[in-house]
Structure 1
Amino acid sequence: MKKTLLLLLIACSVISCLRLENNETLEENQYKPVLVQRSVFEKSIVLENAQTITKSGKIYIKGDLMFINDVNKGFHVYDYSDPKNPVPLQFIKVPGATDLAIIDDIIYINQAVDLVALTYNATTKKIKITNRNKNVFPQKKSPNGFSGNHKENEIIIDWKVK
């Protein structure tokens, strides 16, 4: 019985340390990075019609507007002038975004590795990117904390289960 238990523990230890292709372990191999070319990434912020929230993140309220993050997808914008009845206005698509801050009328968004500044006008329903600071943040890690394999001009905007 003791030999069987010892062999089982050794086998589990060996399997947990097993390396796969590209130096990945079994644990990190369960996720695959969602990659976007830098040229596409920098043009990916667009204003769309209001949508259903799929994975809500942080909430930010500024004046009569409420912004709800849809994790790694962008921000849902609501008219919050009546807090008991928020009205969906639009969706700011920002692949890789998880947070924002607003100072005066400038919205600062972490878009994966970049810090983007933009303005949003609810009346005209337009956004304008005013600045992009590239590579301010590190590449996104997988949900279990591993780095992905990517080329220099690729940005990890999300992770999916394989």
Structure 2
Amino acid sequence: MRRLYSLLLGSSLLFCLSACPLIDPGDRIALPRYKPLLMARSQLEQAVAVLPPQALRNTGKIYLRDPYIYINERYEGLHIIDNHDPTHPEPVAFLRIPGNVDVAMKGSLLYADSGPDLLTFDLTDVRQARLLHRVREAVPELPMPELGDVPTEYQPQHRPADAVVVGWQKL
């Protein structure tokens, strides 16, 4: 009986394997192509601002620090939402931070990336967020959102010297 089960299992495996198409190692899967979104460093450093609430469009990470919710708008900044009443969360402000994808908090201090820079904000009053400090070139260049390819003309050696990557656009 055991031999019969082994024979049936082996036959089933052979049948399944014979139905699978062979993959040619020479076949290449086309990867999506991206171009970097560039901003002059001087413009990057002047662009941080507290703005009125904005619509949520391309959200990323969410950070909860009672009673506020912070929602990343990929490459653009941070939505600040008052969650005192969880049944009626209320947008408070949008903190524009070009090239932002990640945040962390300690006390009333918010740490956020801005392209290659690390920014520290005082959020004692979220409606009046204040930039306290900028560390230039503190984090690596923003990676592409998924596996992809960057055409030669967009490689780092072809970019203007004062340009920093603040996002990626699919071609």
Same fold (TM over 0.5): yes
Highest CA radius of gyration, 1 or 2?
2
1:104 to 98, 103, 107: 107
Structure 1 length-normalised TM = 0.77
1:118 to 108, 116, 121: 121
CA 9–99 in structure 1, closer or farther in 2 if over 3 Å, else same:
closer
Aligned identity (percent) is 24
2:168 is aligned to 159
Q: How many residues align?
A: 140
Cα deviation per residue 1:20-40 (whole Å; 9 max; x = unaligned)? Answer: xxxxxx847x21110001111
2:98 is aligned to 95
Matched, 1:77 2:80: yes
Q: Structure 1: 5+ residue runs without aligned partners? A: 1-7, 17-25
Shift of 1:145: 5.1
1:142 is aligned to 144
Matched residues in 2 for 1:9 and 1:89: separation? 54
Q: Structure 2: 5+ residue runs without aligned partners? A: 1-23
Q: Which structure has the highest strand share of the two?
A: 1
Question: Could you list the runs of 4 or more consecutive aligned residues of structure 1 that deviate by over 3 angstroms after TM superposition?
Answer: 145-148
Structure 2 length-normalised TM = 0.73
What SS does the aligned partner of 2:129 have? Answer: strand
Matched residues in 2 for 1:142 and 1:78: separation? 28
2:135 is aligned to 133
- Cα RMSD (Å): 2.2
Matched residues in 2 for 1:58 and 1:159: separation? 17
Matched, 1:41 2:44: yes
